[in-house]
A and B are shown apart, each in its own frame.
Chain A
Amino acid sequence: MENIAPISWKKSSKPHLFCPGCGHGIVLKQLGYAFDEMKIARDVTFGIDIGCSLLAWNFFDADTIQTHHGRTTSVMVGYKMAKPERIALAYMGDGGGYAIGLQALLHAAYRNNPVTVILVNNENYAMTGGQSSPTTPVGMVTSTSPNGKRAEFGKGLHGPELISEIAAPNAYIARVSISNPIQLKITLKKAIENQVKNKVFSFVEVLSICPTNWKTNAKESFEILREAEKLYPIKEFTKEKEVEK
């Protein structure tokens, strides 16, 4: 019974507000275990965005800030400047991070601000009804691309690749998937540790599932996720840069 839910979860807010089978639950569960193992739940300030990620507003027994769409990174950068002893986490979706909030994210990476950004990529704008987003792969049927997304509208934005181009060599940048929760937890821990120890930027993109808007059951959801993992490769981007150097 000890392990059924992380200790840092706020028990009174469960069952949480996410849809049945939502990938956010899996990411936040592993983040909770990471908090427990590092014993940092009391030191974390959790910044959340507009979009499905805002439903995590009462998820943890931790300080939480909810801010304007796409500005979570900027707000957490400012917060960290005012309170350098706190651990600043920015939690957002692909709409908030790669569409409206891309400039905030890129500049935080460019300045190497000591915040950890966790971006959950479910390949659509889920809260508003599954419209196609910058990361929607070619051919995917969404409510704004009823015949499948056409290649001329972009083949899917590769966020970590883009950010690793401008980020400092000691920034930690990685992409993981919820299909491997253990790797997910290890990566999240590394990203938080990088902020605590080295005082630099870290960024984790988590490939996730959206059964409600993909209109899939559990099996089909993970099949689409497997396709997504082929398009968006799972890897760490930090070491490569160090080798180049």
Chain B
Amino acid sequence: MKTVKIILAGEGGQGIQTIAKVLSDAAFKAGFQVAYIPSFGVEQRGTPSLAYLTIGEEEIRYPRFDTADYVVVLQKRAIKVIGQFVDTNTTLIFDSSAVPQALLPKGAATLLGIPATAIANSDFIPKVFNIIVTGKLSQILKLPKELVFEAVGETLGKKFKDEKIKKANEAAFEFGCNFEAETDKFTKATFTPSEENITVKGHGKVAQIVPKRCKGCGICVEKCPVKALSFGETLGVFATPVPDIDLERCIACGNCYRFCPDAAIEVWKVS
């Protein structure tokens, strides 16, 4: 195998470093030379997270690079950090259900879309989205499937709290390996944060929800004494669901806005 340079970009919390770790473990076991450098700022959700990965038969002299053979981008906000790595030989792989194709940097040789977020949400559990991407990437790099899956087990083993999660990961990995990537017709990017505020009126109350600030922690849903809040369809800043409010049940006690750490919800009475 010729030395390939891969850059993975996304947001902290998405599992970018997990993908890179699994692939580098598997490639090392398969007898290749591997270099992997994680690159992220403060360790938290919402900040860009990058992984530099070099795999090849030749000895690797320097682990960083300026242009990559494969650029993988999994979050809309990460697009701005990958522009410099794209040149005319680059294959750009992106999560077509979360990254709008129109915003991607121009000039890449090939575009490959994997609607991983949409598939993970509809067919599996949302958390396995990075395993689908791992499966597909391992096939693009022609790494042996058994070794990659072994590496998935070693990296995530502790997180498999019950059989259901383990099964979902196995199925997602298998699905990713066999997935035929989109090359010209891409899925519409529906898993992007909602920009507009939601205002609901009725029953003498007004509710205001700001998806731009909501991080989907669920404290308001937990603290509502009359169960008027539940997770809905709209997506917040981290592409997590924003609560829907049922104003018929709501008693405007103010618990949700008092507890919300992000000031994303408020309900008040109108006379």
Chain A positions within 8 Å of B, measured between CB atoms, are: 1, 3-6, 9, 14-26, 29, 55, 127, 129, 181-182, 211, 217-219, 222
Distance in Å: Cβ of B152 to nearest Cβ of chain A:
20
User: How many angstroms from the CA of A18 to the CA of B266 in the assembled complex?
Assistant: 20
Distance in Å: Cβ of A102 to nearest Cβ of chain B:
25
Tell me the total A-B contact number using a CB cutoff of 8 A: 77
User: How many angstroms from the CA of A23 to the CA of B208 in the assembled complex?
Assistant: 22
Main secondary structure of the interface of A (DSSP, over half): loop
The reply to whether B266 and A17 contact each other, CB–CB distance below 8 Å, is no
Assess A23 versus B257: contact at CB under 8 Å? Given A4-B208, A219-B222. Answer: no
The reply to whether A3 and B213 contact each other, CB–CB distance below 8 Å, is no
Q: Specify which chain B residues have a CB less than 8 angstroms from the CB of A219 in the assembled complex.
A: 218, 222
18 contacts between A and B (CB under 8 A): A4-B264, A5-B263, A14-B262, A17-B44, A19-B45, A20-B45, A23-B261, A25-B260, A25-B261, A26-B261, A55-B42, A127-B42, A129-B43, A181-B259, A211-B217, A218-B217, A218-B219, A219-B222
Chain B positions within 8 Å of A, measured between CB atoms, are: 42-47, 208, 210, 212-213, 215-219, 221-223, 237-238, 240, 257-266, 268
Q: Specify which chain B residues have a CB less than 8 angstroms from the CB of A19 in the assembled complex.
A: 44-45, 215
User: How many angstroms from the CA of A166 to the CA of B17 in the assembled complex?
Assistant: 48
The reply to whether A217 and B257 contact each other, CB–CB distance below 8 Å, is no
Main secondary structure of the interface of B (DSSP, over half): loop
Q: Specify which chain A residues have a CB less than 8 angstroms from the CB of B219 in the assembled complex.
A: 21, 218
The reply to whether B218 and A217 contact each other, CB–CB distance below 8 Å, is yes
Assess A222 versus B222: contact at CB under 8 Å? Given A1-B208, A127-B43, A211-B217. Answer: yes
Counting from the closest, the 5 A-B pairs by CB-CB distance are A25-B261, A21-B217, A20-B215, A5-B263, A218-B222
Assess A29 versus B261: contact at CB under 8 Å? Given A17-B42, A19-B44, A19-B45. Answer: yes
Q: Specify which chain B residues have a CB less than 8 angstroms from the CB of A217 in the assembled complex.
A: 218
The reply to whether B263 and A9 contact each other, CB–CB distance below 8 Å, is yes
Query: Considering residues B46, B223, B259, B268, which has the most beta carbons from chain A within 10 angstroms of its beta carbon?
Result: B259
Assess A17 versus B46: contact at CB under 8 Å? Given A1-B208, A222-B222. Answer: yes
Q: Specify which chain B residues have a CB less than 8 angstroms from the CB of A5 in the assembled complex.
A: 263
User: How many angstroms from the CA of A232 to the CA of B73 in the assembled complex?
Assistant: 46
Whose C-beta in chain A lies nearest to the C-beta of B263?
Answer: A5
Assess A15 versus B218: contact at CB under 8 Å? Given A3-B257, A21-B261. Answer: no
The reply to whether B42 and A25 contact each other, CB–CB distance below 8 Å, is no
The reply to whether A3 and B222 contact each other, CB–CB distance below 8 Å, is no
User: How many angstroms from the CA of A26 to the CA of B261 in the assembled complex?
Assistant: 5
Query: Considering residues B42, B208, B215, B238, which has the most beta carbons from chain A within 10 angstroms of its beta carbon?
Result: B215
